[in-house]
Structure 1
Amino acid sequence: MQSTSNYLWLLNDILGQGATASVYKARRKQTGDHYAVKVFNHVSYLRPYEVQMREFDMLRKLNHKNIVKLLAVEEVGTTKQKVLVMEYCAGGSLHSVLEESENAFGLSESEFLIVLQSVVAGMNQLRENGVVHRDIKPGNIMRVVGEDGQSVYKLTDFGAARELEDDEQFMSLYGTEEYLHPDMYERAVLRKPQNKKYGVTVDLWSIGVTFYQTATGSLPFIPYGGPRKNKEMMHKITTEKPEGMIAGVQHRDCGPVEWSKELPITCRLSEGLKFLLVPILANILEADQAKCWGFDQFFAETNDILHRSVIHIFSLQQATVHKVYVHSYNTINVLMDAIFRQTDVPAVEQEFMYEGYCLELDLVQQVDLVPKTTEERPIILVSKEQKAPIGITYKEPDVPTFPPKFDLISDANLAKIVTCAVHQLLRITKSLMKCQDFILRGVYWMLAILKEECRNTVQRVATLNLKLDFCKSTMMRIQKIYGQQSRMNPSEGGDVHMKLQLTVHFLATISQNVQNSQKQLDQIAAQWSTTNDIHHKDSTIGKVEVLLEKVSAIHRQLKKDRMKMKLQYNDEQIHKFEKLNMGIHAKKVLALVREDAEQKYKKLLTCVKDWMRTACDIRKQLRSFGEQCESLHCDLENCGAYLNNMYNQIPLKVEGDQSTTKSTASTVYPDQKCMEMAIRMKQLKQEIEHVTKELQQNNMTIQSLSDGQKPQDI
């Protein structure tokens, strides 16, 4: 037990250890609250006194929520050894977060953005105070979980920090070799003499490596054998990196380096975020300090990402999930251009559905007026033209098999790799299932919208038929009168008669085609219902989660075995059985993903391709029918006006051999009024039927609630 006047701690309760100090979990004597104390070792006291005091001075002047707070400087017992008392970060370091099996391929997008925001805000505070950290790495970024459950990350360990303005340079060496700027690496690690000076941008290189590792779970530059074993190659990779590349990996001894200018497919970040992040990484992972961005540009570009809104989009025909990053003040035009970049669906072909309705967007409308979306409730994008399904892109992780040889260290390491792979397989399974959810939801909405459009088209045809009947009856009267009066020309109005006959044909054709479309939609609806039932009964995710828990439990046991270094005979046999069981569980997970989740997913992709092709054809046809109905409506209006006028101008022989003209009020008006009344009655009937249906549904809901049951989803 060690203590100061106000704090005490156990030496085995260590939180972290560095070259010059160790950090322990301590308690305040008066309250029992947890704190962190940094205790310096003898190596620290070999440094010049001003260097020893530098960290105290730095922490005293820095006060920010993204920087670990210095609460006190106290002395240990009678030794007068100074210790730093700091706030305790119960979430551990970013390094420990990345070491968790579920984060082996990087953090989730939401958590990555929190890291990005925290580091940027903390670094901005350092630069405002003219401080260069010189040891940025995941191990020096601590995590705290706030009252709202959200993470907050804080910069810590200012033992290497010093005051340095943007135009100043330094020559002293600090830092951790995997995160060192190549110029510093050459002198500090390779021990090559050089007289280079370093500026504040060396922190940007370390930040770039940290961000890449946070996004992917691995370092960006890896020589064969690893950075610590192949130091010369490590330096060669970082200094000879082609412009624009953000990663380089050597897979075999003396082999070529595989360069990449993109984040890997296993990365959990969306394409929308990658599009904005990759240029930042490319410009801060620049070995030439003259070409590297300065902090002003770095802060501008990162804050630009953090101030954007995220619009969640699901492209129905392509079966792809997207996150579009735009500013809330941008117009819909900008949003649609961003959607085009990710989906290759031109703005003129983009249509949207949200929560079962067509979403009409005004091109000059601002993005902040778009409905709020989430990963579970995206806007559904539908292209006017048929698009081939693409689906979720993913890479199945390698699942190693355990060798028969008994080796505590190797077994524990392999167990971690297997556990990481199963976590990734579970994520893939969830992505496939979520994609199927969105497909089924989008197709359901599309069917409902198309059925409504069919009903509207049928109603318009019925209205046109009423108008047509009126025109035909008026035409018959005119023909009858022409037949009774010899001085009339029977051929007068012949063109109108032909138009009416054509209209009869057009309306009959439209009615027949709409009926065919309704039958096709009913067929799709039946297929959809069967597929939807199968999908909602699927239990693949639950099975994988159960197997993951078993795999994780074995991993924890093998880690404990490794700590013992040697096992008794019975424990050794159990260890071997557990290793064997882990391999069996992993194979079951692979089989579930490949033979169950993937197969159902691919089958649904084939279905949605056929469904959406039919839906697109029907929608085009209905729009064509709509245009034809508009044209026929105009033609019938003109025909009706012409026939009314013609009918009213017919001279009739009346008693006394006097000629007169039929008045509109006495001849045409009653028929016109009857037609309008008939149309209105038909509309009233449909409205009453709709209200009756809603009342029936409400009664069913009330009845189910009174019976203590959940109302069935419609």
Structure 2
Amino acid sequence: MATNVRGSPTFVWDTSKPLGQGATSMVYMGRNKKTGDEVAVKVFNSQSYQRPFSVQRREFEVMQKLSHENIVKLLAIEEESPSRAKVIVMEFCTHGTLYNLLDMAENNFGLAEEEFLRVLAQVTAGVKHLRDNKIIHRDIKPGNILRSVREDGRSVFKLTDFGAARELEQDEEFLSLYGTDEYLHPDMYERAVLRKSRGKQFGVYVDLWSLGVTFYHAATGSLPFRPFGGRKNRETMHQITAKKEHDVISGVQDTHGGPIRWSKDLPPTCRLSRGLKSLITPCLAKLLEKDQNLTMTFDDFFLRVDDIASRTPYYAFCPSSFSLLTLYARGRDDMSQLRQLITDQTDIPGGAQLLMVDGKELKDESREPVSSYLPHVSPEHPIFVFNKLPEFKRFIKPAVGKFPDIPPETMVDTDYPLSKKCYAVLHSVRNAVKVILQCNNLMNMAVKMYSNHIQHKSLEMELSMGHVMRGCSDARSWKEHLFSSLNTQATLLKALSNSNVKPPGLDVMGRANMLQTIYQTGNRECTQVSTSIHSKLDKAVSMLENIKVGQTADAGWDPSVGCMPSDRCIEKMDVLISKMHKVVLSFKEDRSRRALNNNDEQIHRFDKNKLKELCITARTLVEDHCVNRASMLFEAYKQFYSKVVQIHDSGERLDALVIDIYKQQKRLCDKLKVSGKQCAAQTESCLSALGQTEPVTNGEVSNHGDNGTASSLGTRQERLDGVLDGLQLTRSSLEEVRALLDENTSLMERFSSLQDQDQGEDDKSWEYVPYQEQNAR
């Protein structure tokens, strides 16, 4: 083993522990002689020294210019002993490369969303540092992106291998050929691989193409352009990349000589959310544009990625589509923009969306950013998006990979990669089961939340209706009392006018006629309004009875219809994964041995049968149990929601009707108040004038020149006393009316303040108050 150990003045490395290999070098794991720290040592082979000396030094010079978290750190450039050949010593990244990460079975259909966003942001940051130093990499690919892990468990991705890198201005071009086939720009591929277009020059845009292929690979687990037979099918590979249309981001040939399957979208098996796909796909389309005049510039690319990285994810569950949404909102986006993001993914118009968080309805339509008031949401506690219209999409099961056909024959060379594909699909199935369980749980939460919402609204409407009915009853009583008093007063004044005793300076008949006009006009108008109010009130009472049904809306809901945690489907999938992993390892070992003895071959056949059984078991579990039960739950929700959404709609119509009744009642009270004031003014004038009449003394009144007899005086006195008593009674009645009007005004003001308060609460409904706390209030 000692012969494998080599060193430089400060470092030592073991050539039996390679970390990677390139055309001109090998990278080994080494250690610092003084500290024992692990390092990566790049040692150049004889082929590298055949290059011009300026090219040999270029990598050293490039790395010495770079210093960034997302660029592998240069520790030293030393001379190997005793050859004195230059070696590059770099930081050691403990978790291999991005390619190693994508080669893991759980990532065969692409990285999880959070990890992909790290790759996107950090690789872009590294490339930006290169461009800030006017450097082009020319060999960007997952194998040249190292991965380390912080103490908090989060990945850090770093660009490495600057053997092809060089300084290049934005408008400069180069002739030399570098890169890896699948990640080469079509123009470079044509020259380097097909040996055509000699003398063609290239610019910095070739790095943009390589970035597009790399990010597509990270998002999907596959290369975007795949001819049948792989890289050996060079002509088709070039045909795919060179002849694809604008906005096409992938082209796949499934059979020998077959057609190309083009796509402008990421595949459904991709683990990225629809919200992130909508941001990434246009960016990939611009990166994977052959024509450099149509592709984006580096500055545009950096701005696009900065925009994506700066957005905040808000999670929302839409039961009408049985889907968990991720909404990427900008920091300045308000509720209208958030609703538009929901519309983009659900086709539910903003006006038809009922948004709720923890039982609290979100209604804010202000221009304030949602980040300033929207509570923290997560996939476990998202925004719930209900459609006010009873519309549903068909149940769509989560996309999973397809298990490959498993031939019965023993083929040691191909059975190992076949088992790896099965293993990757099994992880895809497990992810689908996890999504189904999560959506099942959220569906039950949605039903409970919406039922509570309906019950709460029903109780609110019942309370509001109680206030309105009492107000309508009081207004009717006030109306009858007022106009009865007006009629009585007019009658009394007419009687006074016909008597022989008339108050001096008072046009009694004129007053009587005026009161009669007030009575007739006011009574007619108020009666019309009152009749309309009570007609609408009868309709509102009928509607309220229908809405009360919503207080038991979820009585028939059965949460166990769906796939439940108690079914332990995730645990069952983990067992299947464990068993298949053993088969994969066994097949890997068999392939390394090439020839199997009879016993090993028999075991291999048993394992192959087991592989097939595991695939069938997994497919049966997800299709016949999880998907089927979720579909049944979705159908039950459709029946539930079709009923309660009508109750909700009736509640909104009743709410509008109550507001209309309130407005008409206020109009009625305003008319009563006007009539009452007119009546009171006339009464005060009459009583004031009557007060000037000489009072009765000992049963007599002064004659003031009246030549009538004593009997006539008595009669006149009696009539006057009667009139005075009647007017006093009228005044007392009017004072009662006035008191009732004052009371009505006070009640109406309180009722109005309650309405204003309710509307104010609606306006401020963005202020997050948990439903339980709201009930506690």
The reply to whether TM is greater than 0.5 is yes
State the AA in 2 paired with 1:230: N
In structure 2, the partner of 1:320 is 323
Does structure 1 residue 301 correspond to structure 2 residue 335? no
| Larger deviation, residues 280-289 vs 36-45 | 280-289
From 330, 334, 337, the equivalent of 1:334 is 337
Once the two structures are TM-superposed, the CA of residue 662 in structure 1 deviates from its matched residue by 2.6
Equivalent residue in structure 1 for 2:83, among 69, 74, 79: 79
Q: Do 1:466 and 1:675's aligned partners in 2 also have CA atoms closer than 8 Å?
A: no
Shift of 1:32: 2.5
Taking only the aligned residue pairs, the percentage that are identical comes to: 36
Secondary structure of 1:258's aligned partner: strand
The equivalent position to 1:40 in structure 2, one of 41, 44, 48, is 44
Deviates more, 1:618-627 or 1:374-383: 374-383
Contact 1:463 1:679 survives alignment (8 Å): no
- Pairs within 5 Å for 1:462-481: 462-474=466-478, 477=481
Q: Which residue of 1 aligns with 2:92?
A: 88
Give yes or no for the alignment of 1:416 onto 2:415: no
1:174 is matched with which residue: 154, 178, 188? 178
Q: Secondary structure at the match of 1:71?
A: strand
- Aligned partners of 1:331, 1:478: CA distance in 2, in Å? 52
Asked if the contact 2:123–2:157 (Cα under 8 Å) also holds between the matched residues in 1, the reply is yes
**Alignment match of 1:595 (pick from 624, 640, 648):** 624
Provide the alpha-carbon RMSD of the alignment. 3.2
- Determine if contact 1:470/1:672 at 8 Å carries over to the other structure: no
Partner of 1:230: 233
Deviation at 1:107, TM superposition (A): 0.8
Distance 2:277 2:643 in 1: 35
CA separation of 1:280 and 1:486: change in aligned 2, threshold 3 A = closer
Amino acid at match of 1:71: L
1:647 to 1:80, Cα distance in 2 relative to 1, 3 A: closer
| Structure of higher CA gyration radius | 2
Given candidates 659, 662, 685, the residue that maps to 2:732 is: 662
Cα distance in 1 between the residues matched to 2:736 and 2:651: 40
Partner Cα distance (2:400, 2:58) in 1: 49
Q: Does 1:622 align with 2:651?
A: yes
Equivalence for 2:547: 517
Given that 2:398 and 2:436 are in contact with CA atoms closer than 8 Å, whether structure 1 keeps it comes out as no
Counterpart position of 1:349: 352
Per-residue deviation, 1:536: 5.1
Using the TM superposition, give the Cα deviation of residue 34 of structure 1 relative to its aligned residue in structure 2, in angstroms.
Answer: 1.5
Is 1:146 the counterpart of 2:216? The answer is: no
Tell me if the contact between 1:474 and 1:644 (Cα under 8 Å) persists in the aligned partners.
no
- Higher mean C-alpha displacement, 184-193 vs 141-150: 184-193
* SS in structure 1 of the partner of residue 46 of structure 2: coil
Deviations 1:482-534 (CA, angstroms, capped at 9, x unpaired) = 99999499999477567656655543443343233232451x31233544897
1:634 aligns with 2:663: yes
Which residue, out of 274, 285, 289, partners 1:286? Answer: 289
Deviations 1:235-279 (A, max 9, x none): 121111222211111122222212111111111222222222222
Give the alignment of 1:485-524 within 5 angstroms: 487=491, 493=523, 496=526, 500=530, 503-504=533-534, 506-522=536-552, 524=553
What is the TM-score of this pair, normalised by structure 1? 0.87
Which residue of 201, 205, 220 maps to 2:205?
A: 201
Q: Distance in 1 between matches of 2:660 and 2:398?
A: 50
Q: Matched residues in 1 for 2:560 and 2:152: separation?
A: 39
Amino acid at match of 1:325: Y
Say whether the 8 Å CA contact 2:563–2:629 is kept in structure 1: no
Deviation at 1:558, TM superposition (A): 2.2
How many Å apart are 1:195 and its aligned residue?
1.2
Asked if structure 2 preserves the Cα contact closer than 8 Å seen for 1:647 and 1:662, the reply is no
Q: Which runs of 5+ in 2 are unaligned?
A: 493-515, 688-718, 751-771, 773-777
What is the aligned partner in structure 2 of residue 528 from structure 1?
557
Paired residue for 1:684?
none
| Residues 153/183 of structure 1: CA separation in 2 closer, same or farther (3 Å cut) | same
Q: SS of the counterpart of 1:173?
A: coil
Query: Residue 705 of structure 2 aligns with which residue?
Result: none
CA contact (8 A) 1:244 1:261 kept: yes
Alignment match of 1:613 (pick from 642, 650, 653): 642
Q: How far off is 1:142 after superposition?
A: 0.5
Asked if the contact 1:321/1:392 (under 8 Å) is kept, the reply is no
Q: Is the contact between residue 437 and residue 563 of structure 2 (CA under 8 Å) also seen in structure 1?
A: no
* Larger mean Cα displacement after TM superposition, 40-49 or 526-535: 526-535
Tell me, in whole angstroms, the C-alpha distance in 1 between the residues paired with 2:749 and 2:133.
78
- For the residue of structure 2 that corresponds to 1:3, the secondary structure is strand
**Structure 1 equivalent of residue 33 of structure 2:** 29
* Worse-superposed segment, 103-112 or 628-637: 628-637
Which SS does the other structure have where 1:63 is aligned? coil
Task: Look up the SS of the partner of 2:639 in the other structure.
Answer: helix
Contact preservation (8 Å) 1:142, 1:153:
yes
TM-score under structure 2 length normalisation = 0.81
CA distance in 2: counterparts of 1:290 and 1:20, whole angstroms: 34
1-side partners of 2:564 and 2:57: how far apart?
64
Alignment partners' CA distance in 1, 2:453 and 2:341: 26
Question: For this pair of structures, how many residues does the alignment match?
Answer: 682
**Structure 1 residues 108 and 454: alpha-carbon distance in aligned structure 2, compared to 1, 3 A threshold:** same
Letter of the 1:202 counterpart: V
Range that drifts further, 619-628 or 1-10: 1-10
